[in-house]
Copies of this chain bind each other. A is one copy, B any other.
Amino acid sequence: MDSTKTRDESSIDIPQSKSTKAKTTTAIATTKAITPHPQGGWKRGVAIFDFILRICALVAALAATATMGTTDQTLPFFTQFFQFQASYDDLPTFTFFVVANAIASGYLVLSLPFSIVGIVRPHAVGVKLLLLILDTVMVAFTTAAAAAAAAIVYLAHNGNPNTNWLAICQQFNDFCQKVSGAVVASFIAAVILIFLVVLSAVALRRH
């Protein structure tokens, strides 16, 4: 039993693994809290990839928040219909976008230590499960913000003749371009979060 635990993991070859696995399961069950688990291998690799992806998602979410939050355009002229200035808080949807992406950024920063725990202890199940559940909620959150902003940006670009909503992007061109960029960044963050959920699920499954 002790020889199984102290053996180098690369020396366990495939035909042996069925019997050693059964033994290791018993070893894990009995000495769970005391010793680090001998085989980490691909789970550690997945955890490191998880950490890197998490930083990418953080960058995307921060970029979305910052771009949308600082977007501001003042026109050199004004008419009866259009104001001097366009900024994100003219539209409640964009305010929600900023808040949601800021929350997602905050969550991603706070999740980095847990991701490091996943690298140090590749077999810690509780941390992975917690991250998976919160990641899923954040997928919904980020996607909702991005989709709602995208619907409004589409309206700003094209208008809608049926409801008599006019396009405003002819006037506020810079504003529209920056907002579109923020929406794209937020969608990228959402896609990376989906990958994180998939990664956690793959790492969680019984082997």
Q: Mark A residues whose CB is within 8 Å of B.
A: 18-19, 21-23, 25-26, 29-30, 81-83, 86, 90-93, 125, 128-129, 132-133, 136-137, 139-140, 143-152, 154-156, 160, 162-166, 168, 190, 194, 197-198, 200-202, 204-207
Q: Which residues of B contact A125 (CB under 8 A)?
A: 205-206
Q: Which residues of B contact A201 (CB under 8 A)?
A: 129, 132-133, 200-201, 204
Q: Which 3 A-B pairs have the closest CB atoms?
A: A144-B147, A90-B162, A148-B151
Q: Which residues of B contact A139 (CB under 8 A)?
A: 136, 139-140, 143
Give A123's nearest chain B residue, CB to CB: B206
A115 CB to closest chain B CB (Å) equals: 16
**Please, how many angstroms separate the alpha-carbon atoms of A168 and B163 in the complex?**
7
A201 CB to closest chain B CB (Å) equals: 5
| Interchain CB contact under 8 A, B148 and A150 | yes
| Interchain CB contact under 8 A, A29 and B25 | no
